[in-house]
């Protein structure tokens, strides 16, 4: 497997989907590729966490 260059859906920047990550996705049974770069994924994760803290689930 080879590293792939993908374009982030959020910021439009190119990012590398490494062979290791592709293997990880395959192991997990995901057949879609990541749509966002790591930075944007982290941002979304942080945003999700922040909104959960603002409105805690019971």
| Least distance in angstroms from the C-beta of 47 to Zn ion | 13
Whole-angstrom distance, CA of residue 29 vs CA of residue 27:
5
Binding site for Zn ion (CB under 5 A): 8, 10-11, 37, 40
- Phi then psi for residue 38, to 5 deg, are -60, -40
Which residue, 26 or 44, has its beta carbon nearer to Zn ion? 44
Nearer to Zn ion, 4 or 40 (CB): 40
What is the number of helices (H) and of strands (E) in the chain?
2, 2
Q: How near is the Cβ of 15 to Zn ion at its closest, in Å? A: 7
């Amino acid at each position: 497997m080879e590293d792939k260059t993908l374009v982030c859906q959020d910021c439009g920047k190119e990012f590398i989907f490494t062979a290791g990550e592709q293997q990880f996705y395959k192991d997990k049974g995901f057949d879609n590729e990541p749509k966002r770069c790591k930075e944007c994924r982290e941002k979304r994760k942080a945003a999700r966490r922040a909104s959960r803290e603002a409105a805690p689930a019971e």
